Amino acid sequence: MRRKVLIIGIGAGNPDFVTIQAVNAMNQVDVFFIPNKGIEREELARVRLEIIERCVRDRPFRTVEYKAPVRRRGDECYEGAVSDWHDDVEAIYGKLIMEELDESETGAFLVWGDPTLYDSTMRILDRLQARGDFELDYEVLPGISSIQALAARHKVALNNIGRSILISTGKTMAEGFPNNVDSVVIMLNAEKALRIADGDLDIYWGAYIGMPDEVLVSGKLREVVDDIERIREEARRGKGWIMDTVLMKKPSQDPL
């Protein structure tokens, strides 16, 4: 028999973001794998456990906590650091599935936001399938991403009519705003791009979106960039970590 794993998107921090499809899937799970990312991020594990307790009804299950590997920071070769990190994650996932999941059981990883967007769980399970140490099937259930939640909280459309959207990182966008799109979403290290971008851009920024500590800022970039940097640094110091997303848009020419 094949071991089965569900990769379940649980939204961007608000338990109400969990879809009915995700709830139904969680009620098929025997083993939930919960990452431990250290004291600073213990809130992320707590939210996962709260979602499980809230959503799973009249079904026995168990949770298995594991220490999540950390990617090397400040490495000159980003791709190399990510590759080494994935090797570490693959080893842990393989051990978890082999030792904690019987062939007759279903396991699950609860992924923050959406599993198809800036997450590597699928890549790791693909590697385990290719390695062939055991037979494995997995399914992916989408979640509400921080991008969707950010746009909804700011009451703004991601795109201008007939125009493209780019989803990128601050590291890439530090090279400049592309000419062929009107809207750019930055999901990592937005601070690298804010200072060099055109001050006339409309900006919609949010941190801890959907969580009790959610912070939102919007306006012309030149008018709010100082506030965003100050709030971002204060939040990082206060919680020890930050997850933020920003939408930058050229002024809309859309007809009302």
What pLDDT sits at residue 179?
Answer: 83
3-state percent helix, strand, coil for the chain, nearest multiple of 5: 40, 25, 40
The residues pairing with 109 across neighbouring beta strands, listed in sequence order, are: 7, 33
Tokens of 250: 């050229």
State the DSSP H helix or E strand holding residue 247, giving kind and residue range, or none if neither.
strand 244-249
What pLDDT sits at residue 2?
Answer: 83
Tokens of 138: 């997995």
> Widest CA span of the chain, in angstroms?
60
Pairing of strands 31-36, 106-111: parallel
Could you give the CA distance from residue 19 to residue 9 in angstroms, rounded to a whole number?
9
**pLDDT averaged over 10-residue windows placed end to end, the chain, 256 residues:** 92 92 97 83 86 93 90 68 88 95 94 93 95 93 95 94 89 82 87 82 94 94 94 90 92 63
Could you give the CA distance from residue 103 to residue 90 in angstroms, rounded to a whole number?
19
What pLDDT sits at residue 17?
Answer: 93
Residue 163, number of CB atoms within 10 A of its CB? 15
Residue 206 CA, distance from chain mean position? 14
What pLDDT sits at residue 158?
Answer: 94
State the DSSP H helix or E strand holding residue 138, giving kind and residue range, or none if neither.
strand 136-141
CA distances from 9 to 21, 138, 184 (A): 10, 13, 23
3-state class (DSSP) for residue 68? coil
The dihedral built from the CA positions of residue 98, 102, 103 and 109, taken in this order, carries a sign that is negative
CA distances from 62 to 48, 59, 181, 217, 245 (A): 13, 10, 46, 40, 33
What pLDDT sits at residue 117?
Answer: 92
Q: Which domains does the chain have, with CATH numbers?
A: 3-141 (3.40.1010.10), 146-249 (3.30.950.10)
Per-residue HEC secondary structure of 184-217 comes to: EEECCCCHHHHCCCCCCCEEEEEECCCCCCCEEE
